Structure 1
Amino acid sequence: MSIFKSLVIISILGTFFIPRYSESTISCSTVTQDLQPCVSYLTSGSGNPPDTCCKGVQNLAAATTTSADKKAACQCIKSLANSVTVKTELAQALATNCGASLPVDASPTVDCKTVG
């Protein structure tokens, strides 16, 4: 068997035997970075969110694909929302107004146990 064939077989088998972890891969620093452009809008804004905010919301939505990521993002969002006073109606509509789907709204009262 040639070396090339051996490497191909090892590569293929490796993809099946690599352990899959259910731990979250998203960090609070990523969530904070994505939502930072939304803070002034959520605390004192009105109307539609700014484009930079929506870009961050869309990035966050794309990064939260697993249940573990959604729960981790929820905890970070809840913590961020508790650190500032957000307008509830803006927080609840943020993802929708940005054309994205987040696992939770940007509210300090969100129940992260139900996220999945």
Structure 2
Amino acid sequence: MKGSMRVAILAMIIMALVMVHPVEGLNCVELAGMLSPCLDYLRSGGEPPEDCCSGVKKAQGAIQSQEDRRNACNCAKSAAGQMKVRADAASDLMAKCGVSTISIDPNVDCNT
């Protein structure tokens, strides 16, 4: 019985460690998935759809550190240049969705 109690306690400690272990930083594939509903808006302008703003807010929640923010910025900057997004739509997106975490501007300096 003492052995099974030790195993149970060890299992609980491991579960607690797994539950509080920080999530790895946001990567470009994940960010692209979150922001993909914004692509039409970023190319055409107008008003971003609700699922776009939901993705933007989800991306904001995934950014936990300055390094995450810088990585997300670099991913968004690269994608914006490749997908030829409108600069005005990109610069307005975060404000229209009520967040200020990342920029999707191909000219932004992600180190500041």
Aligned match of 1:67? 66
TM-score normalized by structure 2? 0.77
SS at match of 1:112: coil
Residues 1:113 and 2:111 are matched in the alignment = yes
- What is the correspondence of 1:1-116 to structure 2 with a 5 Å cutoff? 25-46=25-46, 48-102=47-101, 104-114=102-112
Flag structure 2 segments of 5+ consecutive residues without an equivalent: 15-23
Q: Distance in 2 between matches of 1:65 and 1:25?
A: 8
- Superimposed CA distance per residue, residues 77-97 of structure 1 (whole angstroms, 9 cap, x where no aligned partner): 011101111111111111110
> What displacement does 1:44 show?
1.3
Identity score, percent? 35
SS at match of 1:113: coil
1:113 is aligned with what amino acid?
N
Runs of 4+ in 1 over 3 A off after TM superposition: none
> What displacement does 1:101 show?
2.2
Give yes or no for contact 2:25–2:64 (8 Å, CA) kept in 1. Answer: no
Instruction: Tell me the matched-pair count.
Output: 110
> What displacement does 1:45 show?
2.8
Q: Distance in 2 between matches of 1:86 and 1:28?
A: 17
